[in-house]
């Protein structure tokens, strides 16, 4: 029941993947503990420099001898429109004031640099012989795929629609993560608009399963053995969980972030592009609510992300949750503060019990 | 596995409920065939007069001696704002023109009448000794609940959030339908806004299951044995399926409606309030797209519903799908044209196979 093509491919005991969460949440301790407990830990490397990534890979290797993965953001084209940036900056000034941020110049992202960094990240993955690499926000090129395959890196793509999943199989990736509308954090959508790709897992998993033959990992709102069993019933071979691992003791999430999830109710999350310019699900707070009316005129990712960076940082360091991005899936009430070991064991116990 | 409190309570062999679909889809043949095949058929009576309802109940009784249900829309307060109605009427004029509709006066709904009709519908349910009555868009009053209980009517409420499910249990209803964001047709939401109540079943079922003790029926995007097994794993005791029964041979849905579902892909549906003034999920078409920009200024249900009635009717009778409300859940690609008997047997076969 719990061991299949996918667990063989990833060399894991249990069909559980810790979702990549960028921005310091996936500490080496979290990643390694997940892998040491029979699931797959993943370094959320989206915002890391190649050197930072290399460093963390080496750190994780010291803590575990089992398989683990790295997740990369596939960069997209973007253009900096001066006027748009100016408007966004002016809107954000009130928050810099509230948080006493003195920022002379905001360094805006550079598209060439972004592509260059991404290519270097892939080289680090290959050089450090990381066994598994997952991709979000897009798919690798044919050339990149060829290189990854040559070096025996198991590749995972992220899809939010059937069409994206088919494309991921077509370019030769080994596994597809199917991200439902329930999931927290950034949407992985890369072919269609946001609304058209908000599909609940109950609908999305079986429709993808009917169209692709590579193994499916289900992601979105899954927190326990019930979710694991449901995902397997629908045609997935494993689950990927973000929020559930975010509140684990080993996670590097800010205490206020963990707290916000623990106190949240169903329906307390919303989709927003106010923080980064890309749609993401998080717990509603002052920043999201106030910026909502300007949402559609804000710059795209990663420009808006750069513009809000100091605000998010200052908010976190000053322990004010109003301006932090409190990413969370829709199942906040099912979160627990526990160790990775307790979480993995509990899920498997619950799943075995349901399985009878 | 498949028989539980809920199947006992509803006196059905299989944990499958045919969702109430108003507007002529739930023909007596459909309802009776569902019940005759061991599941629960439901008359979608939302738009029926008390007499029409009585007639169909009697017709169904002639076709089956097993349990079936009636679904009622709980009316809410509404106010006709002349200016708002005028603006909407003007926007809709173009469609009356395209469809050659000559309509001197549109009869607008009257709130007192709506409440009166609903009370009479309840009396018909009681007088005709219908064993099961489900409610959408709200909950019965304490007095209505008392009367229904005195006459041994098994009551089912519809919830889209944990809060709504808790309230449904609190007022003494026997069963709760948990409607996920995947589901087609009207949202049952009655306590919160639309966006806050768009929760995927993977998240919603377990969170409700942890908070209520009455049996849960899962609704939204469920089309086959995989969905049934997933729902049971998550803590539901049965599934309610609309789209899957809508394309059955016995359903009264317009051929173009069935066709639109059969040809739809994941992500082809959208949430819209352009047809009725209440949020509902359907396949995108010309009407929805063109009216989208005015969506938030349209009158509330059931006013907008009355304003678009002749347009929907004429569109259907002229075989033009552009202006019909093509309600559908998010799993269109899983729909099949088959008989109710084939559908119910297939689901149970698939579920048994997954269950091992």
Instruction: Report ipTM for this prediction.
Output: 0.97
Q: Chain B within 8 Å of A295 (Cβ-Cβ)?
A: no
Q: How far apart (Å, rounded) are the C-alpha atoms in residues B298 and B288?
A: 13
For A84, residues 6+ apart whose C-beta sits below 8 A from its C-beta are A297, A298, A299
Interface of A with B in 169-208 (CB under 8 A): 180-182, 192, 195-207
* Model confidence pLDDT, tens digit, residues B79-129: 999 999 999 999 999 999 999 999 878 999 999 999 999 999 999 999 999
Q: What are the residue ranges in chain A where pLDDT is below 50?
A: none
The kind and range of the H/E element at B70 are strand B68-73
Q: What is the pLDDT of residue B104?
A: 78
Q: How many residues does chain A have?
A: 356
Query: Read out DSSP for A158-197?
Result: EESSHHHHHHHHHTT-SEEEEE-TT--EE----SS-TGGG
Cβ-Cβ contacts under 8 Å, A163 against chain B = 265, 267
Q: What is the pLDDT of residue A104?
A: 78
Tokens of A317: 């360091």
Q: How far apart (Å, rounded) are the C-alpha atoms in residues A238 and A175?
A: 10
**Total Cβ atoms within 10 A of residue A355:** 15
Q: What is the pLDDT of residue A269?
A: 97
- How do strand A216-219 and strand A185-186 relate by DSSP bridges? unpaired
Give the gap in angstroms from C-alpha A207 to the nearest C-alpha of chain B.
7
Tokens 């004031």 belong to A97
Report the greatest alpha carbon distance in chain A: 62
Alpha helices in chain B (DSSP H): 5-10, 28-36, 50-63, 82-98, 111-127, 142-150, 162-170, 201-209, 225-234, 243-246, 255-263, 286-291, 303-317, 340-355
Alpha helices in B104-242 (DSSP H): 111-127, 142-150, 162-170, 201-209, 225-234
- Which among B4, B165, B202 is the top mutation candidate for probing chain A, defined by the most A β-carbons within 10 Å of its own β-carbon? B202
The kind and range of the H/E element at B282 are strand B280-283
Give the gap in angstroms from C-alpha A190 to the nearest C-alpha of chain B.
14
How many Cβ pairs within 8 Å bridge chains A and B?
A: 152
- Domains delineated in chain A: 5-355 (3.20.20.70)
Instruction: Judge whether residue B149 has pLDDT over 90.
Output: yes
Q: What is the pLDDT of residue A333?
A: 96
Q: How many CA atoms lie within 13 A of B247 on its CB side?
A: 25
Q: What does DSSP assign to residue A13?
A: S
Q: Chain A within 8 Å of B220 (Cβ-Cβ)?
A: yes
Burial class (CB in 10 A: 0-12, 13-18, 19+), B203: buried
Q: How far apart (Å, rounded) are the C-alpha atoms in residues A206 and A216?
A: 10
For A238, residues 6+ apart whose C-beta sits below 8 A from its C-beta are A4, A6, A7, A10, A15, A16, A17, A215, A216, A217, A218, A231
- Which among A229, A267, A350 is the top mutation candidate for probing chain B, defined by the most B β-carbons within 10 Å of its own β-carbon? A267
Cβ proximity of B160 and B187 under 8 Å: yes
Instruction: Judge whether residue B73 has pLDDT over 90.
Output: yes
Cβ proximity of A41 and A68 under 8 Å: yes
Q: Chain A within 8 Å of B250 (Cβ-Cβ)?
A: no
Tokens 């160790």 belong to A339
Give the gap in angstroms from C-alpha A211 to the nearest C-alpha of chain B.
10
- For B162, nearest residue in chain A (alpha carbons): A266
Q: Chain A within 8 Å of B4 (Cβ-Cβ)?
A: no
Three-state SS for B17?
strand
Cβ-Cβ contacts under 8 Å, A330 against chain B = 199-200, 203-204
On the question of a cis peptide bond just before residue B302, with omega within 30 degrees of 0, the verdict is: yes
On the question of a cis peptide bond just before residue B135, with omega within 30 degrees of 0, the verdict is: no
Give the gap in angstroms from C-alpha B7 to the nearest C-alpha of chain A.
19
Q: Do A199 and B334 touch (CB under 8 A)?
A: no
Tokens of B115: 């409440």
Q: Chain B within 8 Å of A354 (Cβ-Cβ)?
A: yes
* Model confidence pLDDT, tens digit, residues B192-234: 888 899 999 999 999 999 999 999 999 999 999 999 999 999 9
Instruction: Judge whether residue B356 has pLDDT over 90.
Output: no
Q: Chain A within 8 Å of B233 (Cβ-Cβ)?
A: yes
Q: Do A181 and B204 touch (CB under 8 A)?
A: no
How confident is residue B143, by pLDDT bands cut at 50, 70 and 90? very high
| Cα–Cα nearest to A177, from A142, A143, A132, A114 | A132
Tokens of A76: 């997209």
Q: Do B226 and A207 touch (CB under 8 A)?
A: no
Q: How many residues does chain B have?
A: 356
Tell if the pTM clears 0.90, that is, is over it: yes
Which phi-psi region, left, alpha or beta, contains residue A277 (left: φ > 0; alpha: ψ -120 to 50)? left
Q: Do A267 and B206 touch (CB under 8 A)?
A: no
Give the mean model confidence (pLDDT) for residues B21-36: 96
Q: What is the pLDDT of residue A48?
A: 97
Sequence-separated contacts (24+) of A106-114 with Cβ below 8 Å? A106/A306, A106/A307, A106/A309, A106/A310, A107/A306, A108/A80, A108/A303, A108/A306, A109/A78, A109/A302, A109/A303, A109/A305, A109/A306, A111/A75, A111/A77, A111/A78, A111/A79, A114/A75, A114/A78, A114/A302
Q: What is the pLDDT of residue A11?
A: 98
Closest partner residue to A230 (CB to CB) among B1, B230, B333 is B230
Tokens of B213: 């003790």
Give the CA distances from residue B59 to residues A62, B30, B43, B71, in Å, rounded to whole numbers and listed in that order. 73, 12, 11, 16
């Amino acid at each position: 029941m719990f061991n299949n093509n996918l667990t063989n491919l990833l060399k894991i005991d249990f069909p559980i993947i810790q979702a990549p969460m960028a921005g310091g949440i996936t500490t080496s301790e979290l990643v390694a503990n997940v892998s040491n407990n029979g699931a797959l830990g993943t370094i959320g490397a989206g915002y890391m420099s190649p050197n930072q990534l290399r460093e963390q890979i080496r750190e994780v290797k010291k803590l575990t001898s089992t398989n683990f993965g790295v997740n990369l953001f596939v960069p997209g084209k973007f253009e900096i429109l001066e006027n748009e940036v100016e408007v966004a900056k002016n809107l954000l000034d009130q928050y810099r004031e509230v948080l006493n941020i003195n920022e002379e110049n905001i360094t805006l992202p550079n598209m060439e640099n972004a592509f260059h960094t991404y290519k270097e990240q892939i080289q680090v993955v290959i050089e450090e012989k990381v066994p598994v690499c997952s991709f979000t926000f897009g798919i690798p090129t044919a050339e990149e795929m060829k290189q990854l395959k040559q070096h025996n890196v198991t590749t995972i793509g992220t899809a939010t629609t059937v069409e994206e999943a088919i494309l991921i199989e077509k370019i030769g990736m080994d596994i597809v993560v199917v991200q439902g509308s329930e999931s927290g954090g950034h949407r992985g959508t890369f072919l269609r608009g946001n609304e058209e790709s908000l599909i609940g897992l109950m609908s999305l998993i079986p429709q993808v399963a009917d169209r692709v033959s590579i193994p499916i990992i289900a992601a979105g709102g899954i927190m326990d053995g019930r979710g694991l069993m449901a995902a397997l019933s629908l045609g997935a071979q494993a689950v990927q969980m973000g929020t559930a691992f975010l509140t684990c003791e080993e996670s590097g999430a800010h205490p206020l972030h963990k707290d916000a999830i623990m106190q949240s109710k169903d329906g307390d999350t919303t989709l927003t592009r106010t923080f980064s310019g890309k749609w993401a699900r998080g717990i509603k707070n002052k920043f999201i609510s106030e910026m909502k009316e300007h949402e559609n005129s804000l710059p795209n990712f990663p420009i808006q992300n750069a513009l809000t960076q100091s605000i998010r940082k200052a908010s976190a360091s000053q322990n004010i949750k109003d301006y932090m991005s409190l990413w969370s899936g829709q199942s906040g009430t099912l979160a627990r503060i526990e160790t990775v070991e307790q979480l993995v064991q509990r899920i498997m116990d619950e799943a075995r019990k349901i399985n009878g």
